Amino acid sequence: MERRTTDRLLRARAQAIGGEVREESVAAVLDRVLAVQAQDLPAAELGLRVRSRGLTQDAVRRATDTERSAVRGWFMRGTLQLVPAADARWLLALFGPVYLALAARRLRELGLDESLCTRSERLITEAIDGEGPLTRAQLTDRLTTLGVEPKGQSAFHLIRRAALTGRICHGPQRDGEATFVLLDDWLPATGPLPFTGAAAERELARRYRAAYGPSDALDFVHWSGLKATTGKNAWAAVRETGSEPVPTPGEPDVRLLPAYDNYLVGYRSRDLSVPAAHERRVWPGGGQIRATVLVDGLAVGTWSGGRRGAPVTVEPFPGAEPRTPAVAAGIARESADVRRFSSGSHRLSTNGLQSPDS
């Protein structure tokens, strides 16, 4: 088998989107891949679905809003990610200082000096402590009392800063909107961090190797956002994971991958997963990364729809190989599963403190 094809099949298997690998729960998916990119939360939920068997959106919301076993925050590359709650604190300790330093210039450009940042952090903390989970809009309204403009990016950057310092984190959704809670209340510390400093960098490299292989140090640097020297040193310090058996071709493994998925952003080069001739159909510009149809780890088209039980529409890449009956059947199964996943009851508590059935 061609080396590139083998590598692609191994990557898809490592990411639980190929080789007929499917996990059984939110916890199992995140344990396997560490993080699911989550600036678009519904897309992140579909990223959990595509790697699992029989998972429901309600189960995802239970994990994030009630069980608190998964938490959303700014980690790798300073991008919102959904990670296991058990990993959130050491990841925040690793990435928080990095992105606080990078954000300092933007805060100054917005006219937000250190004094205002400190007062904003205190106000955000006290507001949440006194009123419970608050949305970005509610926190923005509180920040206007300090003279922060209600429009523009100032309030967002102050809220993000409070999260990067470890004061707040994302909590339960309320009417489809994310809320913020106090980190120490939502995820109480249970002891010293399991990894710090260079040990945290090595653990991150180890987890990346397992979830994204075959890959190399430059892929890891690209995915993590660590400085090149830091990332390369961590990579070199971690042993290669055991080699996977070479996949045996069988029935095509078809997956409907959501927008912004790990598999599309986790490597410095895209050519193994998306044919170069069709790259712009997946990355049209403006920061968009479209949902794709994968067959054995290779993108063959894009798709849309499926939310709240709506039909799924597939757009094959022009000139792509004709759809075989097996691929057509796989697309039909995945389309039905997207609709099933997205049409649950969503009877979850708005404050994250009650069980779904209470």
Mean predicted confidence (pLDDT) in 35-64: 96
At 353, the pLDDT band (50, 70, 90 cuts) reads very low
Confidence of residue 243 (pLDDT cuts 50, 70, 90): low
C-alpha 212 chain-centroid distance: 14
pLDDT at 277 over 50: yes
| HEC string for the chain | CCHHHHHHHHHHHHCCCCCCCCECCHHHHHHHHCCEECCCHHHHHHHHHHCECCCCHHHHHHHHHHCCCEEEEECHHHCEEEEEHHHHHHHHHHHHHHHHHHHHHHHHHCCCCHHHHHHHHHHHHHHHHHHCCEEHHHHHHHHHHHCCCCCCCHHHHHHHHHHHCCCEEEEEEECCEEEEEEHHHHCCCCCCCCCCHHHHHHHHHHHHHHHHCCCCHHHHHHHHCCCHHHHHHHHHHCCCCCCCCCCCCCCCCEEEECCCCHHHHCCCCCCCCCCHHHHHHHCCECCECCCEEEECCEEEEEEEECHHHCCEEEEECCCCCCCCHHHHHHHHHHHHHHHHHHCCCCCCCCCCCCCCCC
Q: Is the pLDDT of residue 350 over 80?
A: no
Dist CA 160 CA 48 (whole Å): 24
φ/ψ region of 224 (left if φ > 0, alpha if ψ in -120 to 50, else beta) reads alpha
Write down the pTM of the prediction.
0.92
> What's the pLDDT score for residue 342?
85
State yes or no: pLDDT of 347 exceeds 50.
no
Whole-number mean pLDDT of the chain?
92
Measure the CA–CA gap between 58 and 26, rounded to whole angstroms: 11
- Alpha carbons 27 and 24: distance in angstroms, whole number: 8
pLDDT in tens, 303-339: 999 887 789 999 999 987 778 999 999 999 999 999 9
Report how far apart the first and last C-alpha atoms of the chain are (Å, whole number).
54
